[in-house]
Homo-oligomer: A and B are copies of this chain.
Amino acid sequence: MKNKLMRLDVAVQTFVKDRMSIAAGGFPLARQSNIFIKEILRQNKKGGVKVRDLYWVEPGIGFGGSMLVAEGIIDSVISTFSSHERAGLSVITRDALEKGIPRKIKWEDESNLTLNSRLMAGALNLPFIPCGSGIWGDLKKPGLWDGKMAYPKNVVTEDPFGSGRKVALLQAISPDLSIVHVPFADTHGNGIILGSMYYDYWLARAGKKIVLIADQIIDTEMCRRYPNLVAIPGVGVDAVVPWFMGAWPCNSPGVYGEDLEHISMFIKNSRGEALRSYLDKYVYSWENHQQYLELIGAEKVAALQDNPAKVLAEPFGQWILPQDKVAALLP
């Protein structure tokens, strides 16, 4: 099998195009693809990509998704909720939806089952999938609401096999790109997830292209020893970006916990000048992985790693490739 390691900047330049649909994994506090999202913004500023209108698919719009909305490069969202969990609602998403700041965005509401089902249908190359959700209520109403519907919403139909049961047919979603943050991946693209999977099993598979961001690159021997832990088979993955602490300030169970302090600070700095300063510092100011880690701070990194969930990763330490070896493997 092939070595699929790729530098962060190269991955964004290679896979991200304007007006594409991107499905991003994780959940508001967990394994969101934050470093990849930041790199989209950084490359956009540097001219490495030119992105104005993304079609964004994500279970819950939290930290990363909010930054894209804040920078005005989201045209449309398909999601099920928008919050930082107990830390609060997404101020940025609210401002966009309620006030059109910095721009009006189109929004399509789904439930977690309907959205995950739509992505599974995409992964299985089915044009649609039935669901018991989405029959009653407003979720089935047209969502992308700028007056020009991109497609019709749920079609409620009866079981053709005569049970009399009603289901909603949901249109499949096959995003142009799926991005998923994982704690461990090998050079072949085999991705291991520890802790809750959320949508990621099918969300990853749904992408026409699939990019993993991994905190640690592991020796393939670990996959051979624990093949049933490989949630995302490398044979379907297009690239793996190694980036320790890439999900920060979200958690990456087994490697580090969520930085609730930082997320709360972000929510408080989600408007105007404070937001500008925040983005300047945390998205645009640094130049490389080392500076990124310095920005978080060695003490903070250590504190986030010292998390009860680290027990989940304990058996695997011996297979983590050292940084210099990973650097040597990066084309």
Contacts and interface: CB of A to CB of B under 8 A. Distances in A.
Contacts of A130: 121, 126-130
A309 to B, nearest CB: 10
Nearest to A314: B225
Contacts of A152: 161-162
Contacts of A155: 160-161
Nearest to A160: B155
A180 B165 CA distance: 29
A187 interface: no
Q: Name, among A125, A151, A228, the residue most crowded by chain B CB atoms within 10 Å (CB to CB).
A: A228
Copies in the assembly, this chain: 2
A169 B159 CA distance: 10
Contacts of A227: 195, 312
B126 A131 contact: yes
A220 to B, nearest CB: 14
A194 interface: yes
B229 A228 contact: yes
A311 interface: yes
Interface string A134-160: 000000000000000001100101011
B315 A127 contact: no
15 contacts: A121-B130, A125-B132, A126-B129, A126-B167, A127-B161, A127-B167, A128-B160, A130-B130, A151-B161, A152-B162, A161-B171, A195-B227, A197-B228, A225-B312, A228-B231
Interface of A: 117, 121, 124-132, 151-152, 155, 157, 159-163, 165, 167, 169, 171, 192-195, 197, 225-229, 231, 311-312, 314-315
Given A117-B124, A152-B162, A195-B228, 10 more contacts: A125-B132, A126-B129, A127-B130, A127-B159, A128-B159, A128-B167, A151-B162, A157-B160, A225-B314, A226-B229
